Amino acid sequence: MGTRLLSLALGSDADVVAARQQARRIAELCGFTTQAQTRIATAVSEVARNAVSHGGGGEVAFALDGSDELQRLEIVVADTGPGTDPQEALGGGEPGPRRGSGLVNARRLVDHFEFDSARGRGTRVTLAQRLPRGSGRAPSASALQSAARRLQSGSSDPLNVVLQQNRELVESLAALHDREREAARLNRELEETNRGVVALYSELDEKAEQLRAASEMKTRFLSQMTHEFRTPLNSVIALSRLLLDRVDGELNAEQARQVEYVRRAAQGLLDLVNDLLDLAKVEAGKVDVRPIEFAVEDLFVALRGALKPLQTNPQVNLVFRAADGLPPVYADEAKVAQVLRNFIANALRFTDSGRVTVGAALDDAARRLVFTVEDTGIGIAPEHQRMIFDEYTQVDSGRPRGGTGLGLPLCRRLAALMGGDVDVESEPARGSTFRLVLPLRFGETAPKRDGGPLRRLLLVDDEESFRYVLRHIAEDAGLHVMEAVDGAAGLALAREQRPDLVVMDLRMPRMDGFELLGQLRLDPQLSATPVIVCTSLTLDLEQRRGLSSAYAIVPKQDVARDGLAALIASALASLEASP
Amino acid sequence: MTPRPPPVLLNVDDNEIARYARSRTLRHAGFEVLEADSGTQALASLEAREPALVLLDVQLPDIDGFEVARRLTSDGHGPNVVLVSSRELTDYGSLVDDSGARGFLPKNELTGAAVAAVMR
């Protein structure tokens, strides 16, 4: 105990009243608020009453304790009674005239409460309350001591005591009333905010709908226009061809050159129009995947023939690696060829000397086939590597080499349609390797194991319509589907249920997909669970890095039934390969 | 042995430039080519002379190509019809199959060799 301020004997009910009064005054001297004064006075009076009625009297002592920074008012009430079992004294909050009820109340009123009692040793209760800081009224211990002594000599007229207690009661009631009013006001404010949020959501829905409609219109317009472009371009090409074939007479060397340029320019324009048209079709969901079984070797032979005309630079060798050891692939051969043609044409365009090597390898564990097109060309700076797959962006160095800038975005979309993905590894001045990763068998559903547990997919997306679509795709693929409407709920469900696979959105309330993915990776039991990200966000490089532990990232607009089923199947197959 | 007369084609397209380019290319490849610039004209010209093959643009100003193909092939004795378009076959779903046409060629693939292949 620190500086003793004052102590009072406790013998009668009048002493209890006096103890309460002194407690309140000392609390006031210490700078406590009126409410805190009342709390302390009440706690002291409860404990003192116990000492008088159960302990046969005793003493209450007030003291200051602790350093300057953390001073507290300490009050010790000790009796010499029979003592009791603390368990019994404080055990429950049951109402009634038990010894304990007053103590339980007192314990709620102060910062610190210590009960020390045993049968035959009396009872000692210590109450303590931290002095208010920064009140500017922190009195010195000695000042308090002398003030307390003055208090002790003062009278304790019962009427004054009652009046004082009445004042305290009125103040408490007034404070309570203020709080109720404040709570009601906060409630109203919250309700208003809620209404605002609801309105905002419906406005957002409306805006999203308008955007969808505008995007559809753009796609329709693009598709219509590109068709209109094709007819005259085809005519220009056919007519130049007639001239170049000397159908109606000889051309001199300059004329032949000019007509050849006309033909080439028209062909370039037609290529651009065709790429645009393909992109517009994929965007509009009008492209179907038509899988057939074919040998990679045959595809390479066909590609070699088709790409001959592009090999105009004798300094560059186009090499196809042997692919005869690979199993047959079940995929849309035309689309695979289209992607590889694009990769190879790009590689040839950006390689001045060296070689362009086309190969394929089986990733048996994941049941995926990986096509690679490797060049020794100018390479791509790291900050551009993901951008080149986004529509309508053109990396600085790209333009002078020709090409439409639409080929790679188209490749990405075609790959996604087939349940695969494209990526690139590159080093400036050293070369680039483009990869097309495809499931070995398009649309193959998860292998159903006899008697084995059903594979379980957790779907985390706040967009109900998307969950609906995905649930059907996944259930048709033989999966059990669990749904969560935001990241936090998804995390809780993942921890509880341990799904085999997670499909999630990025933009979600409460916890976004980036954080959810991070949290899953931190959980040792979920760190290897494949996660497929389905998002309508356009991701920058930084964001893609943040998602590097995802199994795949699929733009929502590219989600097609068969493609997603294939992706889910290959994710589950990868799981089976590395249990 | 006298050389066989060249096969006769009817080239139907309302776009004059495209029609000319195609006719000239096919004549150069050894075909005899008749022309029509509408569905009605195509049907009428068949009264005068029956071609071995009709190259029929899908988009015509009066009757669309599918309908013309249906009328030409409905009695089972008409000429072979190949529909021609700047769109792709897949854009039309089952319309081409249902029209009675024997085949489909995208406009940019319309060469003498391609036509000869369809006629075999």
End-to-end CA distance of chain B: 22
Beta strands in A254-365 (DSSP E): 292-294, 316-320, 329-331, 354-363
By Cβ distance, the residue of A232, A234, A242 closest to B24 is A242
By Cβ distance, the residue of A234, A242, A288 closest to B107 is A234
Q: In angstroms, what separates the C-alpha of B77 from chain A's closest C-alpha?
A: 32
**Which residue of chain A has the CA closest to B108?**
A234
Going from the C-alpha of A218 to that of each of A225, A283, A469, the distances in angstroms are 10, 10, 24
Short-list A453, A443, A458, CA closest to A502: A458
A560: Cα separation from own chain's centroid:
24
Q: Which residues pair with A100 in a beta bridge?
A: none
Measured distance CA(A166)–CA(A399) in Å, rounded: 88
The number of residues in chain A equals: 579
Q: What is the pLDDT of residue A134?
A: 61
Short-list A152, A107, A123, CA closest to A56: A123
B interface test, pick of A235, A237, A245, A417 with most B CB neighbours within 10 Å? A235
Q: CB A231 to CB B107 under 8 A?
A: yes
CB-CB contact of A530 with A551 (8 Å): yes
Q: What is the pLDDT of residue A152?
A: 65
Measure the CA angle with vertex A237, ends A234 and A242; round to 5°. 125
Measured distance CA(A106)–CA(A128) in Å, rounded: 11
Query: Amino acid identity, residue A152?
Result: Q
**A/B interface, count of CB pairs below 8 Å:** 39
* DSSP symbol at A132: P
Q: What is the pLDDT of residue A421?
A: 87
Measure the CA angle with vertex A171, ends A170 and A177; round to 5°. 90
Looking at beta carbons, which residues of chain B come within 8 Å of A245? 28
Q: Which residues contact A4 (CB under 8 A, 6 or more apart)?
A: A61, A62, A63, A145
SS3 A449: coil
Q: Which residues contact A542 (CB under 8 A, 6 or more apart)?
A: none
10-residue mean pLDDT profile of chain A (579 residues): values are 82 86 87 87 89 87 80 89 72 48 80 84 88 65 74 65 77 87 91 87 87 83 82 91 92 93 88 82 78 90 83 86 87 90 88 91 83 90 77 51 71 87 87 91 56 76 82 79 88 86 88 89 85 84 82 77 76 66
Q: Write out residues in chain B with pLDDT < 70, as ranges.
A: 1-3
Looking at beta carbons, which residues of chain A come within 8 Å of B24? 242, 247-248
B interface test, pick of A227, A231, A243, A245 with most B CB neighbours within 10 Å? A231
By Cβ distance, the residue of B24, B90, B108 closest to A234 is B108
SS3 A509: coil
Measured distance CA(A104)–CA(A155) in Å, rounded: 31
Q: Which residues contact A340 (CB under 8 A, 6 or more apart)?
A: A299, A303, A358, A371, A373, A436
The pLDDT tens digits of the residues spanning A239-250 come to 999 999 998 999
Going from the C-alpha of A137 to that of each of A69, A131, A134, A143, A203, the distances in angstroms are 13, 10, 8, 12, 54
Q: Which residues contact A570 (CB under 8 A, 6 or more apart)?
A: A366, A367, A368, A419, A439, A444
Q: What is the pLDDT of residue B32?
A: 94
Measured distance CA(A304)–CA(A247) in Å, rounded: 30
Q: In angstroms, what separates the C-alpha of A309 from chain B's closest C-alpha?
A: 17
Measure the CA angle with vertex A212, ends A209 and A213; round to 5°. 90
Query: Sign of torsion, CA A393 A397 A400 A405?
Result: negative
Q: What is the pLDDT of residue A493?
A: 87
Please state the pTM of the whole predicted model: 0.47
Whether ipTM exceeds 0.90: no
Short-list A549, A331, A481, CA closest to A419: A331
SS3 A472: helix
Measured distance CA(A477)–CA(A268) in Å, rounded: 43
For residue A484 the two structure tokens come to 């969560």
Looking at beta carbons, which residues of chain A come within 8 Å of B108? 230, 234, 237, 270
For residue A562 the two structure tokens come to 């068969």
**Residue ranges covered by each domain of chain B:** 8-92
Q: With an 8 Å Cβ cutoff, is A232 touching chain B?
A: yes
SS3 B7: coil
Q: What is the pLDDT of residue B33?
A: 95
Q: CB A247 to CB B18 under 8 A?
A: no
The pLDDT tens digits of the residues spanning A503-557 come to 999 888 888 888 899 888 888 888 888 898 888 877 777 888 888 888 888 877 7
Top CATH class of B8-92 equals alpha beta
DSSP A312-335: --TTEEEEE---TTSPPEEE-HHH
Looking at beta carbons, which residues of chain B come within 8 Å of A238? 18, 21-22, 25, 110
Q: Which residues pair with B36 in a beta bridge?
A: B12
* DSSP symbol at A481: E
Using H for helix, E for strand and C for coil, what is the string for A365-403?
A: CCCEEEEEEEECCCCCCHHHCCHHHCCCCCCHHHHHHCC
